[in-house]
Amino acid sequence: MSSVIFGVRLDELASVEQLRGVATGFLDGDRAFRIFTPNPEILLHAREDTGYADVLRSADLALPGLKVVTAGAGATIGEDGLAHPADREDEIVEAIRSAAPTIVLVGLGAPKQERWIERHADAFPSVRIMIGVGGAFDMWGGSKRRAPRAFRTLGLEWLWRLALEPRRLPRILRATVVFPVLALFDRTA
């Protein structure tokens, strides 16, 4: 079911199960599917800008009900997955709990984000998915550029990141030299 506001279709999904079915279908697809979340401000902009309205109309799914909340920006997180000082940890947890999200994206980098998720997985009754996304926020936010397509196609995105951030050399050496050698010869697994 859908409605149209200022020429832009808004999809109305009856349940989380219906959304899950649509999203699963997208994951099984053979292209990138576009999901937009037009709010009143976006719809007003589309009303004045027909080109932008066309972009919104190209959505595979248009939802006005998505709410994005940021918690913990700028916090210092230790290797143990806890914010320092401790009262900052409580503030972050309470901000997430009060937002009552279904999905939480954690961009702290390894191993901090995995430890943070493990430590807090049961702290949020509404959450059904917690995902460690590493440095993806930096790329999504535009503060770091993703490798050109040729690097990604050849599996050399690590080389691009090394050129941009030479301090990553120890991590990259572990991933490109140490890991393959150990994986090849370590028979404990």
> Is the residue at 68 inside a domain?
no
Whether residue 122 is predicted with pLDDT greater than 80 in this model: the reply is yes
Lowest-pLDDT range, 2-11, 68-77, 136-145? 136-145
Residues 27 and 56 in one domain: yes
Which is it for strands 8-11 and 35-36: parallel, antiparallel or unpaired? unpaired
The partner residues of 76 in beta bridges, in order of sequence, read 84
In this structure, are 14 and 55 located in the same domain? yes
pLDDT at 106 (0 to 100): 92
Mean pLDDT of the chain: 87
CA distance 103 to 170: 32
Residue 153 domain flag: yes
What is the predicted pLDDT for the residue at 117? Answer: 94
Cα angle at 138 between 35 and 39, to 5 degrees?
A: 35
Same-domain check for residues 128 and 156? no
Number of domains present in the structure of the chain: 3
Read off the pLDDT of each residue in 137-160 and give the average, rounded to a whole number: 85
Residue-wise pLDDT tens digits, 13-64: 877 788 888 888 888 888 888 988 887 778 888 888 999 999 999 999 988 7
Q: Please check whether residue 67 lies inside any domain of the structure.
A: no
Per-residue pLDDT, 135: 82
> What confidence score (pLDDT) does residue 189 get?
53
Q: Are residues 153 and 112 both part of a single domain?
A: no
Residue 157 belongs to a domain: yes
pLDDT at 66: 63
pLDDT greater than 90 at residue 3: no
43 plus 83 within the same structural domain = no
Q: Which two tokens stand for residue 115?
A: 């430890």
Nearest partner of 127 among 155, 99, 87, 152, judged by Cα? 99
List the domain range (segments joined by +) for residue 168: 146-185
Over 90: is that where the pLDDT of 166 sits? yes
Task: Specify if 21 maps to a domain.
Answer: yes
Q: Are residues 106 and 131 in the same domain?
A: yes
Question: In this structure, is residue 70 part of a structural domain?
Answer: no
Judge whether residue 90 has pLDDT over 90: yes
Give mean pLDDT, residues 93-116: 90
How far apart are the C-alpha atoms of 96 and 94, rounded to whole Å?
Answer: 5
